[in-house]
């Protein structure tokens, strides 16, 4: 705090005026369907009398952007980040600066041409709309703001305002805008994308999802314009060709084409989102991730909010010795979906690199390397029972379908699933495991989507021990460690009950003591 | 090592409460089947069999489930932790240290009021692990809330 007066009451700052170029373009892009609708409606209703609706819409959108620029201001005081918006309903959003948990800086291609960036300040609150979003600032301003906010929040909770500490001095001294460039030299690089990693892209699901999206949108569009897919010349040509050639050739060609299409999409997706990926550690205790080819993203995570890491090895990635790494972090919004609440630390990369990065972040190589305690024969039987039950259901369904007149080869298909199911069950069992490694609870499970979680024991809030009817008969339980970070709950699946209790006891000594009885087995 | 059961049972009124709470679902199922039955007369033997089976299942569920639950649902508050057990086919035990408790709520739904019951919900900083004690009688619930509030008021962090 070099000039206390200026820090106390800094002036309100405006967003960059260049945002006036970004907003209309983007909002027009979003409004194109509506505008098209207006034009069509104008034509249909009034023989062209309502043509002025479309330009009016354009003017309206531009006017709104200008209004937003004029009315939006922000400032950062010693205690708060404040954002003021709105013309008629003035709204001031204030967030305590020490509550700032993440700062994202995003620049789309359009932003980058204009030298702008969007800054999103996350407070980790679960309420919607609680974060602040500044769209857009100049790039240097955004970087300065990020450094300022992160250093401040890294220092604030441990010391009260005004008390000088050893850690606070360098942070505040270097927080001035413009100095962050020199600061960057002190960052240690933990990982940097190697262009060869792109070879892992086809082994992720992103290409499949992308292809599904393309087909979905394509068919919707064709439907929308009332076009029958069979009448489009290239598609008709293709269908004719299919009719002329034998079935197996079509199937083969279709498969090759699909694989090629998915591969191209996934590689494109990988390059777009992860190109130039760089993971660095700032000496003040934060991790920085920058990535992206056209839209660049920069994310910062404070290390004191890290409670562990997740190493994800889906089957396909595992086949090519690759893995992804995510952080278990408090204060990021718990999201739904595969990535639920975790923050990406490493894109699909060689698994040795992933383990190395994990070791550096955790400060301990053990959680990712140690052998895990297996869950025993009962857990293995359960894996087989469950998978074979699914196979049985499929077979019955196939049988019923054939009885109803489905082709005979369905029976063959049902038969083929048996060896696949057996291999899946065996692999699912092999994945199961748990242990305590240093400060971390380590658990692993899954085959198609295998994950190894390392959760800091100090971050565990409580235990849930869940047993279904069949688990009780097999003496198994699913132990869940609840936590405020990441997915909020980390499971140790189908572990023998006594091992579960031992694990819980070793992770948080003392908590269970009151509820344990030493002599097992003799009572019913 | 073995995990013993929590010390206290819930109120015996809970058995009736759980029974009554499960009735509407079965009425809905039976109403649907009766509607289907009245549709036409083909396969009437099969339809009556399905209906009879449903009634049997409903009766068994209404007889067994509440009593089984009553034997399972238990709770305990010690000087350091809250410990609950719930469920019937799927049973779950939850343990949270008092030092990590964030809020203690009690609530009474209309049906619970009818049976003079209340439930207590203890939340921690994790979205995954609220501990719920269902079917306590009112006085006990208030006692638990008071005890927990007193115990947690002088603890410090919640591990966020």
Q: Hey, where are the domains in chain A?
A: 4-186, 197-274, 278-374+432-515, 376-429
- What whole-number distance in Å separates Cα of residue B131 and Cα of residue B146? 16
Q: Which residues, in sequence order, are CB contacts of A128 under 8 Å at separation 6+?
A: none
Cα dist. A416→A391, A394, A409 in Å? 10, 11, 11
Contact B129 A461 (CB under 8 A): yes
Query: Are the beta carbons of B19 and B67 closer than 8 angstroms?
Result: no
Instruction: Provide the pLDDT for residue A165.
Output: 31
Structure token pair of residue A507: 């992770």
User: Sign (positive/negative) of CA torsion B142, B143, B148, B149?
Assistant: positive
Smallest CA-to-CA distance from A512 within B71, B4, B124, B145 is with: B4
Residues in chain B with CB shorter than 8 Å from the CB of A460 are: 159
Nearest to A330 by CA among A510, A487, A192: A487
Confidence of residue A428 (pLDDT cuts 50, 70, 90): very high
The yes-or-no verdict on residue A232 having pLDDT over 50 is: yes
Among the partner-chain residues A482, A514, A523, the one whose CB lies closest to the CB of B124 is: A482
CA distance A321 to chain B (A): 33
Contact A516 B6 (CB under 8 A): no
Q: Per-domain residue ranges for chain B?
A: 10-70, 75-153
CA angle A367, B131, A504 (to 5 degrees): 30
Residues of A in contact with B99 (CB under 8 A): none
Written as six digits, the tokens of A423 are 């291999």
CA nearest A510 in B: which residue?
B80
pLDDT: which is higher, A226 or A195: A195
Mean pLDDT is lowest, of A211-215, A328-332, A347-351, B38-42, for B38-42
> According to the model, what pLDDT value does residue A160 have?
34
Predicted pLDDT at A368: 93
Residue B93 to residues A186, A482, B90, Cα–Cα distance (Å) = 49, 13, 10
Structure token digits, residue A207: 């290409």
Q: For A319-342, b where at least 16 C-beta lie within 10 A, e where not — what string?
A: eeebbbbbbbbbbbbbeeeeeebb
Average pLDDT, chain A: 80
Peptide bond into B125 cis (omega under 30): no
Work out the minimum CA distance from B1 to partner chain A, whole angstroms: 5
- What average pLDDT score do residues A12-41 get? 75
**Cα dihedral sign for A178, A184, A186, A187?**
positive
Nearest to A482 among B91, B126, B160 (CB): B126
For chain B, give the DSSP string.
Answer: -EEPPPSEE--THHHHHHHHHHHHHHHHHHHHHHHHHTT--TTHHHHHHHHHHHHHHHHHHHHHHHHHHHHH-EEEE-SSEEEEEEESSSEEEEEEEGGGEEEEEEE--HHHHHTTEEEEEEEESSTT--EEEEEEEHHHHHHHHHHHHHHHHT------
In this complex, the residue of B89, B95, B127 whose CB is nearest that of residue A515 is B95
Torsion sign (Cα): A351, A356, A359, A365: positive
Whether B85 and B71 have beta carbons less than 8 Å apart is answered as: no
Residue A38's pLDDT band (cuts 50, 70, 90)? low
- Residues in chain A, overall count: 524
Which has the minimum average pLDDT: A9-18, A37-46, A141-150? A37-46
Whether residues B95 and A511 touch (CB distance < 8 A) is answered with yes
Tokens of A448: 């198609």
* Residues of chain A found within 8 Å of residue B6, distances taken between Cβ atoms: 515
- Long-range CB pairs of A86-91, under 8 A, 24+ apart, other chains included: none
User: Testing the interface with A: which of B87, B94, B96, B128 to mutate, by most A Cβ within 10 A?
Assistant: B128
- CA-based angle B146:B152:B155, to the nearest 5? 160
Q: Report the first-to-last Cα separation within chain B, whole angstroms.
A: 31
Residue A13: which region, alpha, beta or left (left: phi > 0; alpha: psi -120 to 50)?
A: beta
Q: Give the distance, in angstroms, between the CA of residue A333 and the centroid of all CA atoms in the same chain.
A: 11
Residue A323 has pLDDT above 70, yes or no: yes
**Mean pLDDT over residues A133-160, rounded?**
70
Query: Which chain B residues have a beta carbon less than 8 Å from that of A507?
Result: none
Chain A contact residues (CB < 8 Å to B): 126, 330-331, 334, 458-469, 472, 480, 482-484, 487-489, 497-498, 501-502, 505, 508, 510-512, 514-520, 523
Nearest to A462 among B3, B89, B124 (CB): B124
| Kind plus residue range of the DSSP H or E element containing A346 | strand A342-350
**pLDDT bucket at A164, cuts 50 / 70 / 90:** very low
Q: How many CB pairs under 8 A join A and B?
A: 118
- Rounded to the nearest angstrom, the minimum Cα separation between A502 and chain B is 8
Q: Which residues in chain B have Cβ-Cβ distances shorter than 8 Å to A98?
A: none
B158, B102 contact by CB (below 8 A): yes
Residues of chain B contacting A, Cβ within 8 Å: 1-4, 6, 76, 78, 80-81, 83, 89-97, 100, 124-129, 131, 158-160
pLDDT above 50 (res A4): no
pLDDT over 70, % of chain A:
81
Q: What is the pTM for the complete model shown?
A: 0.78
Per the CB < 8 Å rule, is B6 touching A515? yes
Q: Length of chain B, please?
A: 160
Average pLDDT over residues B61-90: 93
Comparing CB atoms, the residue among A466, A480, A488 nearest residue B127 is A488
A304: chain B residues, CB-CB within 8 Å: none
Is B1 close to A516, i.e. CB distance below 8 A? yes
Question: Which residue on chain B is closest to A521 by alpha carbon?
Answer: B2
- Please tell me the distance in Å from A97's CA to the nearest CA on chain B: 17
> Which residue would you say has higher pLDDT here, A318 or A78?
A318
Contacts of B103 in chain A (CB under 8 A): none
CA distance B102 to chain A (A): 11
High-pLDDT (> 90) share of chain A, %? 32
User: Which helix (DSSP H) or strand (DSSP E) does residue A91 occupy?
Assistant: strand A91-96
Please tell me which of the candidates B1, B81, B91 has its beta carbon nearest to residue A467.
B91
A311 half-sphere exposure, CB direction, 13 A CA radius: 27
CB atoms within 10 A of CB B71: 10
- Given a contact cutoff of 8 angstroms between Cβ atoms, the answer to whether B54 and B37 are in contact is no
Contact A511, B81 (CB under 8 A): yes
Query: In this structure, are residues B76 and B10 in contact, taking their beta carbons and an 8 Å threshold?
Result: no
CA–CA distance from A516 to each of A513, B2, B154 (Å)? 6, 6, 26
CB B128 to CB A126 under 8 A?
A: no
Q: Min CA distance, B2 vs chain A (Å)?
A: 5
Q: What is the pLDDT of residue A429?
A: 95
| pLDDT score of A253 | 84
Our CA-based measurement puts residue A305 at a distance from the nearest CA of chain B, in whole angstroms, of: 8
Q: Would you place residue A2 in the very low, low, confident or very high pLDDT band (cuts 50, 70, 90)?
A: very low
Q: Is the pLDDT of residue A229 over 70?
A: no
Tokens of A203: 């082994």
Q: Residue A338 has what pLDDT?
A: 41
Edge-first strand order for the sheet with A433-437 is A342-350, A322-329, A306-314, A449-456, A440-445, A433-437
Q: What was the pLDDT predicted at A369?
A: 92
Rounded Cα distance, B129 and A126, in Å = 16
Chain B positions in Cβ-Cβ contact with residue A463 (cut-off 8 Å): 93-96
Which one is the CATH code of B75-153: 1.10.3720.10, 2.30.29.30, 2.60.120.10, 3.30.70.60? 2.30.29.30
Q: Which of B94, B127, B158 sits opposite A334 (nearest CB)?
A: B127
In this complex, which of B1, B80, B159 lies closest to A501 when CB atoms are compared?
B1
pLDDT at A6: 42
Structure-token pair, residue A269: 């997706």
**pLDDT-based confidence at residue A5 (cuts at 50, 70, 90):** very low
On the question of pLDDT at B79 being above 50, the answer is yes
Place of tokens 């449903």: B54
CB distance A297 to A178 below 8 Å: no
Over residues A204-219, the mean pLDDT reads 79
Single out the residue of A479, A445, A432, A491 nearest to residue B3, CA to CA.
A479
**In this predicted structure, which of A203-217, A253-267, A299-313, B92-106 has the lowest mean pLDDT?**
A203-217
- Closest CB to B95 among A459, A512, A523: A512
Mutate to test the interface with B, among A307, A441, A515 (most CBs of B within 10 A): A515
Pick A517's closest partner by Cβ from B2, B124, B159: B2
pLDDT at residue B22, as a whole number: 93
> Which chain A residues contact residue B89 at CB under 8 A?
468-469
Quote the pLDDT of residue A51.
65
B101 → chain A, closest CA residue? A461
Q: Which residue has the tokens 């005081």?
A: A77
Q: Which residue has the tokens 């809020």?
A: B103
Contact residues for A450 (Cβ-Cβ < 8 A; gap 6+): A312, A313, A314, A315, A318, A431, A444
- What phi and psi values does residue B23 have, to the nearest 5 degrees? -65, -50
Q: What pLDDT, on a 0 to 100 scale, did the predictor assign at position B47? A: 80
Q: Using CB atoms, which residue from B89, B93, B158 is nearest to A469?
A: B89
Backbone angles phi, psi at A79, to 5 degrees: -105, -25
């Amino acid at each position: 705090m070099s000039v206390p007066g200026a820090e106390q009451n800094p002036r309100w700052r405006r967003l960059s005026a260049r945002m006036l170029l970004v907003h209309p373009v983007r909002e027009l892009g979003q409004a194109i369907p509506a505008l098209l609708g207006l034009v069509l409606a104008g034509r249909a209703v009034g023989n062209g009398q309502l043509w002025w609706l479309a330009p009016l819409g354009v003017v309206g959108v531009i006017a709104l952007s200008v209004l937003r620029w004029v009315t939006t201001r922000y400032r950062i005081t010693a205690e708060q980040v404040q954002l003021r918006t709105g013309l008629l309903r003035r709204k001031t959003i204030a967030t305590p600066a020490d509550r700032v948990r993440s700062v994202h800086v995003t620049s789309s291609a359009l932003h980058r041409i204009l030298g702008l960036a969007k800054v999103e300040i996350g407070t980790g609150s679960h309420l919607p709309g609680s974060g602040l979003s500044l769209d857009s600032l100049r790039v240097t301003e955004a970087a300065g703001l990020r450094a300022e906010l992160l250093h401040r929040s890294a220092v604030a909770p441990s010391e009260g305002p005004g008390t000088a500490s050893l850690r606070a001095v360098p942070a505040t001294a270097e927080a001035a805008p413009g100095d962050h460039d020199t600061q960057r030299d002190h960052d240690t690089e933990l990982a940097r994308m190697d262009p060869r990693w792109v070879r892992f892209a086809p082994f992720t699901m992103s290409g499949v999802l992308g292809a599904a999206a393309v087909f979905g949108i394509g068919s919707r569009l064709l439907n929308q314009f009332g076009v029958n897919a069979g009448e489009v010349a290239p598609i008709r040509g293709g269908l004719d060709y299919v009719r002329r050639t034998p079935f197996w050739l079509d199937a083969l060609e279709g498969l090759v084409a699909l694989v090629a299409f998915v591969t191209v999409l996934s590689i494109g997706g990988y390059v777009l989102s992860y190109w130039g990926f760089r993971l660095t550690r700032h000496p003040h205790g934060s991790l920085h991730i920058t990535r992206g080819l056209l839209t660049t993203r920069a994310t910062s995570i404070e290390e004191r909010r890290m409670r562990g890491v997740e190493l994800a090895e889906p089957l396909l990635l595992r086949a090519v010795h690759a893995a992804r790494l995510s952080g278990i972090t408090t204060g990021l919004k718990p999201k739904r979906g595969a990535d639920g609440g975790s923050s990406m630390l490493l894109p699909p990369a060689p698994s040795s690199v992933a383990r190395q990065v994990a070791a550096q972040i955790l400060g301990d190589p053990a959680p990712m390397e140690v052998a895990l305690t297996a869950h025993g024969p009962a857990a293995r039987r359960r894996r087989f029972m469950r998978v074979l039950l699914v196979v049985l259901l499929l077979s019955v369904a196939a049988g019923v379908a054939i009885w109803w007149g489905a082709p005979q080869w369905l029976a063959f298909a049902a038969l083929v699933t048996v060896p696949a199911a057996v291999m899946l069950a065996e692999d699912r069992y092999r994945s199961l495991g748990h242990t305590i490694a240093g400060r971390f609870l380590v658990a692993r499970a899954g085959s198609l989507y295998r994950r190894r979680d390392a959760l800091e024991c100090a971050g565990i809030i409580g235990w849930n021990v869940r047993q279904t009817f069949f688990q009780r008969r097999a003496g198994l339980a699913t132990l869940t460690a609840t936590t405020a970070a990441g997915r909020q709950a980390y499971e140790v699946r189908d572990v023998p009950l006594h091992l579960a209790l031992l694990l819980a006891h070793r992770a948080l000594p003392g908590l269970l003591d009151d509820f344990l009885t030493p002599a097992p087995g003799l009572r019913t | 090592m073995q995990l013993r059961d929590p010390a206290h049972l819930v109120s015996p009124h809970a058995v009736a409460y759980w029974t009554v709470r499960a009735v509407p679902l079965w009425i809905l199922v039976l109403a649907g089947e009766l509607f289907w039955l009245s549709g036409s007369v083909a396969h009437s033997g099969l339809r009556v069999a399905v209906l009879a089976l449903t009634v049997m299942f409903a009766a068994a569920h209404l007889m067994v489930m509440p009593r089984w639950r009553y034997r399972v649902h238990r709770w305990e508050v010690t000087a350091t932790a809250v410990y609950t057990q719930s469920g019937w086919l799927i049973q779950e035990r939850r343990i949270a240290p008092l030092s990590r408790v964030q809020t203690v709520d009690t609530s009474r739904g209309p049906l619970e009021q009818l049976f003079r019951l209340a439930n207590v919900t203890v939340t921690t900083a994790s979205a995954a692990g609220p501990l719920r004690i269902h079917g306590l009688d009112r006085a006990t619930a208030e006692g638990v809330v008071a005890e927990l509030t007193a115990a947690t008021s002088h603890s410090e962090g919640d591990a966020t």
